[in-house]
A = this chain, B = another copy of it.
């Protein structure tokens, strides 16, 4: 409503009642003005009625929402919605984002969707800069695909800048299927590099990276792909060291920062690497960091042209849904709201670490808390007296038991199955992420609940089953399979 119409409301209500409302209404416009001119994450989050107003304003700028007299959509293929439930849940935003040439390009028929696209990308850049990457996040772009697919697009965008026979992607290995597959899908060959064991921690073998570069020759290599966020006892890669190697050999460097915005340590690694060496692109998941539904990834980097090239690689218009979710969430949280989430996450880590330590003390005959202080998110217990000798079935049983009790986020790995990683024992790994966020308003003390369940399993069931472990029954095999199935999921 423009200022004239707001004032015209005074014909309908008492001026004295209207004045205060016009005051905070002006405040809203001022904040909006600031947002549009600065395109930075606001300090304070916006309220729900303000977000509703903003999104309706923007929706009205798309051609399909224009008044009938204003537009004649003969021949329009897009921007038409027939099911009311679908129309409504998208606020009428139907045109998607981008054009065939570039997913960041404006849509001539959808000024509102285009504003959402552009503003979201600006705010995402600011968000990354504010939360640990002031240098590395010169530019950011949301692509409405999963993290793995985003990594794939990054690799595809590099193709033209690399020698035609470059096929290899050096990849310090992590247990995560999507990034491996991203390399395959892009038509390249992954070269996994096993981690080194440093105390309890599995760390990047930088020497092996250098050897492999020298062995294959830089021209046969498309890029090096490192990782920040992973399950303990694996810790984040030595990004700066790898970045220096990439600078030395002129190799592109892509970072899989899946849920790394949740931990300042991961972000600092990225920023540091971008100043000390070469770091082309880093990719993070929208859902894992911004707490939105699965479906988008943020691609960022220190050189806007490189980031834009990825955006220009996506052929066709794309869904505006992930951008809309990201914009609403960023404005809902504000800088302070996201900082609060990070604080909660750090507190959950401490509570989980202390809880696991105490639990490991009580069950010292069967578990030990690994010392993995460089992993800011995940912790791991090693399971003593199980492992390859017992055929890997016990960890599977424990994993299934946890799942049956509703603990879906922990991951149980049989050491024997991945001996090449030199991990000598079965393990339970678990991440400490922001709580209270399963859905809006959800309040849970899930760390404590998890510790109670795990304690009970270790006390009663697991140890009792130790005794029974020589008896294999068909039913357990089923559980076992299930657990394998679950592992695959955790890998992806």
Contacts and interface: CB of A to CB of B under 8 A. Distances in A.
Given A48-B440, A87-B440, 18 more contacts: A1-B57, A4-B29, A12-B114, A18-B61, A21-B62, A24-B66, A49-B65, A52-B85, A68-B442, A73-B408, A74-B447, A77-B409, A83-B329, A100-B176, A146-B317, A178-B316, A295-B321, A321-B322
A212 interface: no
Interface string A107-150: 11111101100110010000000000000000000001111110
Interface string A214-254: 00000000000000000000000000000000000000000
13 contacts: A11-B36, A14-B106, A21-B63, A23-B70, A49-B56, A49-B439, A55-B85, A70-B406, A72-B449, A75-B409, A101-B492, A107-B489, A440-B441
Most interface-central of A76, A100, A407 (chain B CB within 10 A): A100
Nearest to A326: B86
Nearest to A332: B83
A385 interface: no
A181 interface: yes
> How many A residues are at the interface, by size bracket?
35 or more
A90 B89 contact: yes
A408 B63 contact: yes
B486 A108 contact: yes
Contact of A74 (B100, B403, B407): B407
A78 B294 contact: yes
Interface in A317-332: 317-322, 325, 328-329, 332
Contact of A319 (B63, B73, B159, B293): B293
Number of copies: 4
Interface string A42-74: 000001111111111101111111111111111
A80 interface: yes
A399 to B, nearest CB: 12
Interface stretch (A264-272, A299-307, A361-369, A430-438): A430-438
Nearest to A449: B72
B315 A294 contact: no
Contact of A77 (B12, B56, B77, B285): B285
A96 B329 CA distance: 17
Nearest to A50: B60
A341 to B, nearest CB: 7
A87 B378 CA distance: 27
A319 B404 CA distance: 26
A291 B4 contact: no
Interface in A163-179: 176-179
A373 interface: no
A74 B315 contact: no
A329 B82 contact: yes
Nearest to A402: B72
Contacts of A329: 82-83, 86
Interface string A385-410: 00000000000000000011111111
A275 interface: no
A186 B188 CA distance: 11
Given A80-B438, A185-B156, A437-B81, A432 B12 contact: no
A87 B446 CA distance: 20
A294 B314 contact: no
A282 interface: no
Given A75-B432, A317-B492, A49 B53 contact: no
